[in-house]
Amino acid sequence: MKASFALAPALRDAAHAVADVAAGRSLADEIERVMAAPGETPRAVLIDLTHGTLRRYGRVQAIVRELSRRGRPDRLVEALLWCSLYAMESGRYAEYTVVDQAVKACGLLERWVAKGYVNALLRSFVRQRPSLETRMRADAEARYQHPRWWIDTLHRDQPLHWEAILDAGNSHPPMCLRVNQRRTPTDDYQERLAAAGIASRRIADEALLLSQPVPVGRLPAFESGEVSVQDAGAQRAARCLDLASGQRVLDACAAPGGKSAHILESADVALTALDADARRCERVVRNFERLGLRATVCTADCTRLADWWDGVPFERVLADVPCSASGVARRHPDLKWLRRAADLPGFAARQVAILSALWRVLGAGGKLLYVTCSVFVQENEAVIDAFTAQHAPGAQRIALPDGAPAQWLPDAEHDGFYYALLQKPA
C-alpha cells in the first residue's frame, strides 16, 4: 500500500498509545489524547495500528520475547516493535518500509540508542518467520491472541465453540444498521444504500448488514435520524421485551442509548432511561434528538431506588448490565488484556445486585429482560440461576419471544450477547 502519510510519526504515536494500554490505560482515551495533540497521523491510521496491534498482542509480545537478545527493552521501544510487527504482517506496507520507518520512529521517540536493536530485531523477524510460526503455535497466548485465563475460561464454558469465539475476537467486527421504522421502510433504505454504492444484506426486520464498514458520514440521512449503527445482537433487546403501546418501560443502564432508541422506534411507550454517568446520559439525549425521540433521561445508579424511582411500577424493564464485555472484545481490543479473571466474580455480584433492585420496580405480570455482551457463563446462566433460586417461585424464566437461543456467540454477522427474560407473577 502506498501511504500518503509518514509512517514513522504514525508508529511513534501508536507506540505511545499501546505502551499506555500495556500500563493499564484505556485505548479509547489514549487515541483521543494523541489526536488532541498537534500531529500529522490520520485518525484512521492510528486506529488501524493500535487496534491491529492489540488484536495480535499475544503474538507480537511472544515474537519480541523470542527474538530479543538484550532482555526486555524500554517500554516505548517494546511498544514500537509490537506496532511495527503488526504493520509488517498487515500487508499494508512493504517490509523494508516498516523497518526503515521504525528506525526513524526511534528518533522521534528520543530512543536513538535503540535504532540498531530495532533494525536488527525486525530484520531477524523477516528472516526467521517460518521457524517462528512453529514456535508460536506452541504458545497459547501467541496462537490465540488472548490471555491464558480467557482461553481457559472459554474452553470450560464453551467446549464446542471456544476456538471459533477466539477467532472471532481477533477479527474485524461487522457493521450493522438499524433502520428507523418511524421514518422509512427497511427495503426503501436498502435501495438508497445501493444507490450510494453501499452493499448490504437484510438480516432482520430493521437490520441491514453492510458488506464492508463505511464512515457514518456516507450513510444516507444518518444525521436526520433515518438510521443508526447498532450490532444485530444488540437489536434483539427491543424484540425480546414484548413491547406494546402505552407500557411504562425502564432501560436501567441505558447509555449510549441504542437499545432505548430501538424501544422507542418499536412502540409508543413511556420510557425512562437511566445511567450512572452524566456524560453518558448526554450521549443518550443527543441520540434521541437526532432520531426525533422523546423519553425521560435520568442520571442515577439504578440500584439506589430512592434517587430516581417515583414508586410507580414498570411493565417492562431492560437490564443491560455492566459486564466483562467478552462478547464484543473485537471492538475494544485493549479490553481482553486489561481484564483479569478476578474481575468476573465482581461483575457477577454487581449483576445480581442490579437484578434484585430492578425486580422491586417491576409490576405484577411485568417482564424483565437481562442482557450482557458476555460469553462467560459466570455472568450469564450462573447469574440467572442464582437470582431465580433466590426469588423462587416469584421469578419465572420464560422463553424469549424471538425463539433464538439465550447465548449468541460472536460471528460474521453479530457480536456475542446473552439474553434471559424473567416474568413476575400477576
What pLDDT was estimated at residue 136? 86
pLDDT band at 5 (very low <50, low <70, confident <90, very high): low
The verdict on 267 and 355 lying in the same domain is yes
The verdict on 182 and 284 lying in the same domain is no
Residue 2 domain-assigned? no
User: Between the CA of residue 376 and those of 149, 218, 283, 380, 381, what are the distances in Å?
Assistant: 12, 36, 28, 7, 9
Q: Could you tell me the CATH number of the domain that includes residue 107?
A: 1.10.940.10
Looking up cell 402505552, which residue turns up?
Answer: 246
Count the neighbouring beta carbons within 10 Å of the beta carbon of residue 92.
Answer: 18
User: Tell me: the pLDDT tens digits for 264-320?
Assistant: 999 999 999 999 999 999 999 999 999 999 999 999 999 999 999 999 999 999 999
The verdict on 258 and 389 lying in the same domain is yes
Say whether 186 sits in a helix, a strand or coil: helix
Residue 30 domain-assigned? yes
User: Tell me: the pLDDT tens digits for 91-141?
Assistant: 999 999 999 999 999 999 999 999 999 999 999 999 999 999 888 888 999
Q: Could you tell me the CATH number of the domain that includes residue 278?
A: 3.40.50.150
The verdict on 359 and 379 lying in the same domain is yes
The verdict on 186 and 75 lying in the same domain is no
The verdict on 286 and 414 lying in the same domain is yes
Residue 1 domain-assigned? no
Cα separation, 190 vs 192, whole angstroms: 5
The verdict on 225 and 240 lying in the same domain is no
Residue 170 domain-assigned? no
Residue 156 domain-assigned? no
Per the structure, how many domains does the chain have?
A: 3
Say whether 375 sits in a helix, a strand or coil: coil
Q: pTM of the full predicted structure? A: 0.92
Phi, psi for 40 (deg, rounded to 5): -120, 5
What pLDDT was estimated at residue 4? 44
The verdict on 277 and 287 lying in the same domain is yes
Cell readout for 6 is: 509518514
Strands (E), 124-267: 176-179, 200-202, 207-210, 227-229, 248-251
Cell readout for 112 is: 536513538
What pLDDT was estimated at residue 203? 96
Residue 165 domain-assigned? no
Do 410 and 330 contact (CB within 8 A), yes or no? yes
| Domain end among 230, 253, 271 | 230
- Among 205, 206, 226, 203, smallest CA distance to 216 is for 226
Looking up cell 488501524, which residue turns up?
Answer: 48
The verdict on 391 and 315 lying in the same domain is yes
Q: Which of 83, 281, 302, 373 is catalytic?
A: 373
Structural domain harbouring 205: 175-230
Residue 305 domain-assigned? yes
pLDDT band at 1 (very low <50, low <70, confident <90, very high): very low
Q: Could you tell me the CATH number of the domain that includes residue 198?
A: 3.30.70.1170
The verdict on 51 and 196 lying in the same domain is no
Q: Would you say residue 2 has pLDDT above 80?
A: no
pLDDT band at 204 (very low <50, low <70, confident <90, very high): very high
Count the neighbouring beta carbons within 10 Å of the beta carbon of residue 307.
Answer: 13
253 noted as active-site residue: no
What pLDDT was estimated at residue 258? 97
Residue 152 domain-assigned? no
Residue 129 burial class via C-beta count within 10 angstroms: exposed 0-12, middle 13-18, buried 19 and up? middle
The verdict on 270 and 286 lying in the same domain is yes
The verdict on 132 and 209 lying in the same domain is no
The number of C-alpha atoms within 13 Å of 116 and in the hemisphere containing its C-beta is: 3
